[in-house]
Structure 1
Amino acid sequence: MTPMLPAVPPSARSITGVADDLLGAVTGTGSSLPRVRSAVLVVVDGLGMAQLRAHAGHARCLAAATARGDVAYSVFPSTTAAALTSLLTGVAPGTHGLVGYRVLDRERRRLVNQLSGWEHERIDAAQWQREPTIFERATAAGHPAFAVGLAAYAHSGFSSATLRGARFESEKSAAERVERAIQLADENDGALVYCYLPEADKAGHKHGVDSGEWVAALEEIDAALSVALPADVGMLVTADHGMIDVPRHRHLIIEEGDPMLAGVTHIGGEPRMLHVYLDAAARTDEATAVWRAGTGAAADVHTRDEAIATGMFGTSVTPEASSRIGDLLVAARGTWALYDGTDADQTSQGMIGQHGSLTPEELRVPYTRLGAFAAR
């Protein structure tokens, strides 16, 4: 089966442009957003445009402020490690190097969890992710930068890779985080303030995006964003990716002895987008054919060279990023998810809401302007 690529319009807005949009707004050098005294970036983890539209009645503030064309496209893979880093650096995964949820450190021949494995694997964030963050760029231009999130993220390796240059402050609830972000923007002229809301993503993974728990999380977020902003402070609300519910009967589990596992040393990524690492590059053609036959209509299988050549990881890919990309990339179609049945950790099989692949539900996210950014 011929692999399919997403039909992303050439002129489509990408989440990689958010950093430049916001910096331009506070420095007065941009054209995408009006100049403001200070700017707030709110990232609602996991909130795709499809989910927002489907549940518009539970998000009246966001839905009313989000016009039909207020859309941005996530990156590939559409997973938090890759996409949030792209949002906060302004470059694609092929440049910043966080090319998936779990990727292979080839020097040590170990998979590294790009969200929570930094400390355990002793990864130096400054070396692994070398691109300047939006916060470093802001402070270099003389603008104060802040990040407001949960206390658990304050000193994580992933935060070190993505929030460098920002002063971190923690608040418990979504409402408290938004309130503090607005307060920092108001009290610090020229400030760039980031506010992270993971509630919808967490509820979606555990219960699904059509669950009562997910709707409750969306309502909490919408209420938090319904507060008034100072007249000269702009707020941009977006997401790193969307989400899709995967039913149990759409689990493709690759068990021990399956021909697809021949020559495979590691399987990284996540169920909606696997990185498959082989013991020898010479196996690539044979393995590609076997994986395409084995996954059938459930997934598209690309080689690393194909993925790089077609720009799936961005227009350029660094040697470091290339070394972390699987020899094969297996992107789930529709509502499928693929699991390594030989992996001792099967916790991901309990997830309902998932992401990482190339469907519109995963790629299309809101680009909502509030406060001084709102269209007039």
Structure 2
Amino acid sequence: MPAARPSFQSFSAGLLAAIVGFASSFAIVIQGLNATGATPAEATSGLMALSISMGLCAVVASLWTKIPVSIAWSTPGAALLASAGAVDGGFAAAVGAFVVCAVLIILAGLIRPFGRAVAAIPSPLANAMLAGVLFGLCLAPVRAVGEMPVYALAVILTWAVAVRFARLYAVPLAMVVTFGIAFLTGGSLSLAETPLISKPIVILPVFTFEAFVSIALPLFIVTMASQNIPGIAVLRAFGYQPNSSSLFTLSGVFSLLSAPFGGHAVNLAAITAAMCAGEDAHKDPAARYWAAVFAGVIYVLFGLFAGLVMALVAATPGILIEAVAGLALLGALAFSIGEATKEAETRDSAIITFAITASGVSFFGVSGAFWGLLAGGAFMALMRFRKQT
């Protein structure tokens, strides 16, 4: 049987997947890294490390398995970082949490009972925690209208029209308009001082209990529940039979490699996975993995020029960048709320998890995401105990 060959169709699908995957969520990643205390240079390094890691991971996984394995950075994880904020120890402690999260992902792939235990976390609670994390970020477009009404409304209108006619391009187009506003309003863009190829920065990790509970554990849970497990489901929906354990392990290894440079986590993709696994990628399902390979190569190129992206962001009003990030997360928020409250039996537990997580409160230095999951789980256990007695 002749080997499956790449085609222009698979290249174009991979190019589109990479552009959509990068442009639709890099603002969220930058916001998350900044919130945990990263300097502009460290945030650039993190963005670079994530993009290169997910690109190389996609190339390795797709060529190895001969199926279209799309990889992305953890967008829900970045949103979690933005809501959790800085911890004692600064960004070095956050990097320590990234390392721990990567090790947990590797263990979830290597130790099947551990992986099954993660998958056994009640879906309503995991989705409620994610919804609580996303909620504050999704208010950013409203805040932007209050601070910069004309410009913010221009960004929102662009996004809304694009959602109606070309949904995949909605966030990238909103970002283009945002950068255009920065130029028109005299944004201080200085490309002369920006190196053409970005330079990675090594951040020595610091391991603290606060960062472990506030960042590492919630980051691991949302990455597994909201990205890795759905990513496997998308591939299976297109008729592929991926080995979930080996793919989880591989994504954990590349997460571990990116962590010392400021990258929080990479994982299996869902939306871009559908773009690379569908008929638009290639007529022959056996050849569609080339689309994921091409997407991976383009992600690596994006990573090398991450400094240019950061220069554009630095020249743009921060509230507008936050607004675009909030618009990008509205779909995820709606889906998470719907999944969290779908079943009447677990609805109260999910709402408790959502309310505590969204409140943004912290106790003993531990963020609300952990306490929300803990409280929702305890209430769910209590309700089930009452029914048994």
Between the two structures, name the one with larger relative contact order (CA 8 Å, sep ≥ 6).
2
Q: TM-score scaled by structure 1?
A: 0.29
Q: TM-score scaled by structure 2?
A: 0.29
